[in-house]
Amino acid sequence: MPPFDRICRAITLLGVSFVVLTAPWFFGAWEQWWFWPFVAAIFLGTLGFAGTMIASSWADRAKGGTHARSLKMLGVLAFLPFLIYAFVRCLQAEVFMDAERSLLLHLTAWLLAIQILFVFSRKQAHLLFQLLLADLCLLGLYGLINHELTGSRLVLWCEGYPQYQGRLTGTYYCPDHFAGVMELAFCLCLAPLLSRGLGWRWRVWPGLLASIALVAVVLSKSRGGGLTILTVLATALVWGFSQWPIRIRWCLRVIVACLGMLALLLFVHFANDYMTRFKAYFGWDQAQGESLEDLRRAVVTRLDAVDRVQMAAAALRAWKTAPVFGIGPGMHQNLWRHFAASADGDRQAHKWPTHPNDTYHSYEVHNDWVQLLEEYGLVGFALFAVSAAIVFGVFLRDLRAQSRTLAAHGWQARGDEPHAFVLAGLLAMVCMGFHSLGDFNLQIPATTWILAAILGVAGAHVGEEAVMAGAPPSGGDEP
């Protein structure tokens, strides 16, 4: 390997590893704290990546045969239309700094993923996966220890927000966001635990991290975190056992589902603090002993007054003023006061809106999907949704191809299959896609970058099903 290529590769490897492994330790690299140093590291790694492109083509850097390279390029190019659109909308925004941050969140995640995809070797991608497992394990341990010693009064070396004390916050100021990164950790460890033929090193760290992540989510008391864990487990039931023959696969699904239901019932019965907070949010405790209709009415009334529902409703009101192209990247917080009050007020009739929403300021919608629609419009939402669907489809197709290959070779798993890495990517997409319905985890840079790294490692293993068994895939069971 020429010295120039070797130096460029080293810069990229160090830049990606530094960002992915250290960003969550600095308050999630939130924009007021440590955002720009990590962005600079990403662009430094991008310079190294550009150097490797001078030495060789993208196709040469994509590992595997023609089929594998085509799938990787499809995943990379899928997001380009959205990024181009986001860049144009950024230039048109009225508040450039907020638009710039919105653009950078998308762009830096894409840059991290393609650097892993085209620069990291298979061994290096495996190492990054294991380092990320270890790093998230330490992150969870820190959160548990800090919670035990200080009640999460401190966030690293700084004082936390009073309203969150008593809930585990870890290195993030908001416990819901720390629950989000622990959910990604759960996805990362669940995949190797469900994969066949891996050695003990692929069992110890994931098994320990799974326990830590679950405890951290519970102690964070994040309602969305609990629902997301259930969604991830349901997804794993569907696609996590695709390495097994179909009869064994369904037996495993039934056994795991029964054990999971039992564990959930025990948790609901014994986790009083968590369930009390969960029920209070939906207003269930206000309709105990009443009819189902009274319960439904109490829940609807309660949810109608919830701040997150009000923020989403205001964002939709703002979106309706510019439905095609949106109000502009990063403009939600700037236009909040214009759309905060509910639409049932009447100035001429001297009627106040039911929900003035004037006691707080919404910097984020607490729903990434609604904020994407509001700020980028139908065009941006469609471009992003199609891009994400393509990547998800590539992962799903690859898991099915692996299943067909194993079926053609008697279901003999060798242990070096890409199943764990591709499944981790698929689970991570479901995880963040679901939790983003009720929070803004993807507005936290470190969480977005970790997700990008998981998807990059998964994408680097796409198309290897023919190599793993030494023969092209042929007919077999679908997962």
Query: How far apart, in Å, do the first and last CA atoms of the chain sit?
Result: 41
Q: Which of 26-35, 258-267, 394-403 is the least confident region? A: 26-35
pLDDT of residue 475: 37
Contact status, residue 440 vs residue 370, Cβ threshold 8 Å: no
pLDDT of residue 298: 65
Query: Nearest Cα to 189, choosing from 124, 139, 114?
Result: 139
Over its C-alpha atoms, the chain yields an Rg (Å, rounded) of: 23
Task: Supply φ then ψ for residue 327, to 5 degrees.
Answer: -85, -10
Contact status, residue 177 vs residue 28, Cβ threshold 8 Å: yes
Calculate the alpha carbon distances from 35 to 26, 28, 108, 444 in Å: 9, 8, 11, 10
3 state SS of 77: helix
Residue 339 has pLDDT above 60, yes or no: yes
Q: How many other β-carbons are positioned within 10 Å of the β-carbon of residue 323?
A: 14
| Amino acid identity at 167 | R
The mean per-residue pLDDT over the stretch 417-436 comes to 92
Percent of the chain with pLDDT over 70: 87
In sequence order, the β-bridge partners of residue 429 are: none
Q: Mean pLDDT for the chain? A: 85
pLDDT of residue 476: 39
Contact status, residue 462 vs residue 394, Cβ threshold 8 Å: yes
The mean per-residue pLDDT over the stretch 207-217 comes to 91
The mean per-residue pLDDT over the stretch 101-110 comes to 94
**Cα 83 from Cα 106, distance rounded (Å):** 7
Residue 290 has pLDDT above 80, yes or no: no
pLDDT of residue 380: 96
pLDDT of residue 160: 86
Token pair of 381 as six digits? 């939402």
Pairing of strands 154-155, 158-159: antiparallel
Q: How many other β-carbons are positioned within 10 Å of the β-carbon of residue 347?
A: 7
pLDDT of residue 455: 95
Calculate the alpha carbon distances from 239 to 292, 367, 402, 427, 447 in Å: 36, 27, 12, 9, 24
pLDDT of residue 144: 95
Task: Give the CB-side neighbour count of residue 392, counting CA atoms within 13 A.
Answer: 15
Query: Nearest Cα to 379, choosing from 310, 326, 334, 448?
Result: 326
Query: Nearest Cα to 225, choosing from 311, 105, 132, 140?
Result: 140
Q: Which of 28-37, 51-60, 298-307, 400-409 is the least confident region? A: 51-60
Contact status, residue 374 vs residue 365, Cβ threshold 8 Å: yes
The mean per-residue pLDDT over the stretch 305-318 comes to 89
Token pair of 135 as six digits? 């790093």
Confidence of residue 383 (pLDDT cuts 50, 70, 90): very high
Residue 311 has pLDDT above 80, yes or no: yes
The mean per-residue pLDDT over the stretch 394-407 comes to 88
Q: What is the DSSP letter of 155?
A: E
| Amino acid identity at 58 | W
Put simply, whether the predicted model's pTM sits higher than 0.75 gets the answer yes
Residue 415 has pLDDT above 70, yes or no: no
Task: Supply φ then ψ for residue 351, to 5 degrees.
Answer: -110, 120
pLDDT of residue 65: 56
Residue 198 has pLDDT above 80, yes or no: no
